[in-house]
A and B are shown apart, each in its own frame.
Chain A
């Protein structure tokens, strides 16, 4: 199992990333994608699921379920947060999100991630290496759609 001392060079390498941004990605939001996500997360409201009903509703189109913004994290963070470490496991620790207007079918969303922090802690079963990044989403009107702050921890599972 890696020790805190052995992980220090990795931490130094990660902390050099603080403030760096990854490549921006752009997604055209299709109603089918929003409906599929709503179904997979158990939503039942017509504004998330029914194109005809949503078209008559307050937003004029299907809107994204509240946590749909998470789908931008994987691609935007792929080149920033790394799990290429001498630790066998990583888990998602926390999220904090500020939301603007809901994403609607037909929107075009730009997403860019910024590496925010990395730090080491001694856990009960060995070192814990935390990484934090922030993903910012804007729509075709340049309106802020969401800021998604994501945390992950790497550790040795002992398995």
Chain B
């Protein structure tokens, strides 16, 4: 299946549907358990206050997981495969509203790249990245 068949009419500049959710401290605890990531910044409120932060900080990988989810909600794994991604975290995320989205920034013969972003409740840019997908080519075995 070629990419045009899969994403007919998708051109550079196309904005994928956004994902918006509340990420509270419970969500961070659930993620910590699921990811085996118990770094103190994500759960120890007094520790973070003592360091001058207003609250605990969300896991960067959790923010990015939701950025990827904006892509996989639009191009689910039965139709497309993520082959590459990269993310840069610009600002710590404190529990609250998280909105993720993206814009198609390249369409090639066999792949498509989405420039993805995440913002907090105040609209501050938390992270930006790129996710590259190819049409699903079947199971490897």
Q: Provided the pairs A43-B72, A70-B35 are in contact, do residues A57 and B78 lie with their beta carbons within 8 angstroms? A: yes
Find A40's partner among B30, B51, B60 (CB 8 Å cutoff): B30
Set of chain B residues within 8 Å of A98, measured between Cβ atoms: 83-84
Contact A58 B138 (CB under 8 A): yes
Nearest A residue (CB) for B83: A99
Q: How many residues of B contact A (CB 8 A)?
A: 49
Contact A94 B72 (CB under 8 A): no
Contact A41 B69 (CB under 8 A): yes
Nearest B residue (CB) for A159: B52
Contact A94 B89 (CB under 8 A): yes
The distance in angstroms between the C-alpha atoms of A147 and B118, with both chains bound, is: 23
The distance in angstroms between the C-alpha atoms of A70 and B77, with both chains bound, is: 18
Nearest A residue (CB) for B84: A98
Q: Provided the pairs A92-B60, A93-B88 are in contact, do residues A41 and B65 lie with their beta carbons within 8 angstroms? A: yes
Set of chain A residues within 8 Å of B59, measured between Cβ atoms: 92
Nearest A residue (CB) for B28: A40
Q: Provided the pairs A40-B30, A66-B65, A67-B68 are in contact, do residues A75 and B87 lie with their beta carbons within 8 angstroms? A: no
Find A65's partner among B65, B84, B87 (CB 8 Å cutoff): B65
The distance in angstroms between the C-alpha atoms of A96 and B41, with both chains bound, is: 22
Q: Does B21 contact A (CB under 8 A)?
A: yes
Q: Does B43 contact A (CB under 8 A)?
A: no
Set of chain B residues within 8 Å of A39, measured between Cβ atoms: 30, 34
Which bracket fits the contact residues of A? 35 or more
Q: Provided the pairs A89-B51, A92-B61 are in contact, do residues A99 and B89 lie with their beta carbons within 8 angstroms? A: no
Using a CB–CB distance below 8 Å, which chain A residues touch chain B?
33, 36-37, 39-45, 47-48, 57-60, 63, 65-67, 70-71, 74-75, 88-89, 91-99, 101-102, 141, 143, 157-159
Using a CB–CB distance below 8 Å, which chain B residues touch chain A?
19, 21, 27, 30-31, 33-39, 41, 50-53, 57, 59-62, 64-66, 68-69, 71-73, 76-78, 81-89, 92, 131, 136, 138-141
A-B contact pairs, 29 of them (CB 8 A): A39-B30, A42-B65, A42-B69, A43-B69, A45-B72, A45-B73, A45-B76, A47-B76, A66-B65, A66-B72, A66-B82, A66-B131, A67-B61, A67-B65, A70-B37, A70-B61, A74-B39, A75-B36, A89-B51, A94-B88, A94-B89, A95-B85, A98-B84, A99-B81, A99-B83, A99-B85, A101-B139, A101-B140, A159-B53
7 further contact pairs, Cβ within 8 A, besides A42-B66, A143-B140:
A44-B73, A66-B131, A75-B36, A91-B60, A92-B60, A96-B86, A158-B52
